[in-house]
Structure 1
Amino acid sequence: MSYRGRFAPSPSGPLHFGSLIAAMGSYLDARKNQGKWLVRMENIDPPREVAGAADDILRTLESFGFEWDEPVLYQSNRLDAYQAAIDQLQQEDLLYRCFCSRSEIQALGIAGAEGVVYPGTCRTGFSLRDVNSKERYALRLITHDRPVVFNDSIWGAINQRIAREIGDFVIRRADGLFAYQLAVVVDDAYQGITDVVRGADLLKSTPRQIYLQGLLNYPTPNYKHLPLARAPDGRKLSKRLGDDPINSSDQITALLAALEFLNQPIPPERPESVGDLWTWAITEWDSRRIINNLDFTG
């Protein structure tokens, strides 16, 4: 299958430098491999969305010279597909209702790969309290303790035991919204994505996605997880937390900074146009150089 990559921002604010790095890495990898590059708007979490952010993100990408090869996919138009995946998993008895509150999970869980491991309280139908039919519940996916192993093109072999390190995880939230882990898997399969290039903050999510892909009989893409841009206090840059957006009035400087962050060669002279910069960057792109520039430690 020919290369198909994607950039999938959430409309929780304007693009910042970390977003530009992820967009650039995925774009260059697709173009270097003569592949398609798609944009997906991950807008299935209304409480976190900022009005107008989706359009602002697309305008910013265009101003920086990004060109996507198919119409933008909006997850808000894909709810039936996510429900169909849940129906399939339910038919195979792989889901159960979870009535646990966050405080109950915090009290009973143990530290894992991402916060607290869900202790499986509702897996056998037992709850800490009487549950009435009107109470809200999440849907959790049954996991196992066998390792999920994959090879990341930057990080090498990754091994995670989901049941032990994460626990049974949510694929539909108690507020009725579909979880990211489900939506991203369904959409990557739907769009025929062969290669996922994204930030290393999602590295620990990948085993869950591979596990879901297996259950839903979807192919597993190749993965590259890029190093993260950090704020001065060490945290990951975030649209949601209001980190400074990239400067759309000086695209070449911002793009050169992103290239340098990704440990790629910089043109000997400043490019005269954004198009010239992309021509140079695509020709010189080699993701193997990123190995020497990792800054994500967990």
Structure 2
Amino acid sequence: MTVALPAHIQSLIETGQRRRREGYRGRFAPSPTGALHRGNLRTALLSWLEARLSGGAWLLRHDDLDTPRNRPGAIEAIEADLLWLGLHWDGPALRQSRRRGLYGSVLSALRRAGLLYPCRCSRRLLADVSAPHGRWPVYPGWCRQRAPVWGPEQGRLPSWRLRLPPGPLGWQERYGPPGRCDAATDVGDVVLRRADGFLAYHLATAVDELTLGISDVLRGADLWPATAAQVGVMAALGFAPPRYGHVPLWCDEAGRRLSKRSADEGLEGLRARGLDAPGVIGALAASAGLVAAGARISAAELCEELTLERFQQLLRRAALAAKT
């Protein structure tokens, strides 16, 4: 079923598609829920490097739609950290919270096309739903066939789910597991508007990739499961996804993934240990196998020392090592 998008949104997407065809356009999209930790900083560096080595653009987008989780001053701190490291972005930094009208218009178009349905399953009800093969929870479609009631029932509004047609969802994957999933058994119908009224991450991300003309997404391996849902949203709108590269996460000595809860995992702790920007860049790059341990190098110097082919070869080697 064709989705009739408003003319201005159709124009935005067409402009984005043209930009995508013109060359590499990457992005870094942190959530302003706290300071960037070392894993976030490494992902930012790798994403920036791939964009610069490809002769392309690197955009900064703050994924700040989930306002209760945002921390005051986090956006400014993220931008200051990136600039201190020499990771300059192209154009103005974007905030998803200022693009709600765009996402809402796309959501309304999907609803008019009959691709959405209201879901009243609570989190508690879904808590015991397990995915096949032990991967991630897949919605079993309990509300698919219910008569749609979009208003409140017993004082509670529904979430809005995208009805994904059965079949494969695929994307070009450069570093992570092969980019293919089955919509019915691996993904399930995707929530695009939460029951509390907040627009969902998958909707906003998919719309942004299309309208901003993102050609390539390099991000952490923890987001590989989210890719199929975003690809499904783009397919529903009639457009192809970007290319993706999911890189291994940086873990601590105990094998635990880094989080924002520990200050010593971010720049504050690294500076406290006496590291300057070249020291931090060297540590981030060494953790991905790009330079030798103990190297001191600026982001610009690292870019001059690498070629795109060498960079991608080293990342594939790091991804392969992480699997063993």
TM-score in terms of structure 1 length: 0.89
Hey, what does 1:199 align to over in structure 2? 220
Hey, what does 2:10 align to over in structure 1? none
Q: Deviations over 1:267-298 (max 9, x none)?
A: 99744x5543443356785112212212666x
Q: Deviations over 1:211-269 (max 9, x none)?
A: 11111123421111111011344332222576721225522222112212222134997
1:292 lines up with 2:317 in the alignment: yes
1:29 lines up with 2:50 in the alignment: yes
1:264 lines up with 2:285 in the alignment: no
Aligned with residue 110 of structure 1, among 126, 130, 136: 130
In structure 2, how many angstroms separate the alpha carbons of the residues matched to 1:244 and 1:268? 17
Structure 2 counterparts to residues 160-239 of structure 1, below 5 A: 160-239=181-260
Structure 1: where are the runs of 5+ without partners? none
User: Which amino acid letter does the alignment assign opposite residue 73 of structure 2?
Assistant: G
Structure 2 counterparts to residues 33-182 of structure 1, below 5 A: 33-107=54-128, 109-112=129-132, 114-125=135-146, 132=153, 134-155=155-176, 157-182=178-203
More off after superposition, 252-261 vs 221-230: 252-261
In structure 2, how many angstroms separate the alpha carbons of the residues matched to 1:218 and 1:256? 39
In structure 2, how many angstroms separate the alpha carbons of the residues matched to 1:218 and 1:77? 23
Q: 1:65 to 1:171 in 2, by over 3 A?
A: same
Q: 1:219 to 1:118 in 2, by over 3 A?
A: closer
Q: Deviations over 1:14-63 (max 9, x none)?
A: 11111111101110111001101110011001121111111000000000
1:6 lines up with 2:40 in the alignment: no
Structure 2: where are the runs of 5+ without partners? 1-21
Secondary structure at the aligned position of 1:38 is classed as strand
Contact conserved, 2:139 with 2:188, CA < 8 A, in 1? yes
In structure 2, how many angstroms separate the alpha carbons of the residues matched to 1:151 and 1:283? 18
Contact conserved, 1:48 with 1:240, CA < 8 A, in 2? no
Q: 1:235 to 1:268 in 2, by over 3 A?
A: closer
Q: Percent identity?
A: 35
Q: 1:275 to 1:154 in 2, by over 3 A?
A: closer
In structure 2, how many angstroms separate the alpha carbons of the residues matched to 1:100 and 1:269? 52
In structure 1, how many angstroms separate the alpha carbons of the residues matched to 2:287 and 2:162? 37
Query: What is the Cα deviation at residue 115 of structure 1?
Result: 3.4
Hey, what does 1:254 align to over in structure 2? 280
Query: What is the Cα deviation at residue 85 of structure 1?
Result: 1.1
User: Which amino acid letter does the alignment assign opposite residue 138 of structure 1?
Assistant: S
Query: What is the Cα deviation at residue 73 of structure 1?
Result: 0.6
Secondary structure at the aligned position of 2:131 is classed as strand
TM-score in terms of structure 2 length: 0.82
What is the number of equivalent residue pairs in this alignment?
292
User: Superposition RMSD on alpha carbons, in Å?
Assistant: 2.5
More off after superposition, 249-258 vs 13-22: 249-258
Indicate the structure with greater strand content. Answer: 1
Query: What is the Cα deviation at residue 84 of structure 1?
Result: 1.1
Indicate the structure with greater helix content. Answer: 2
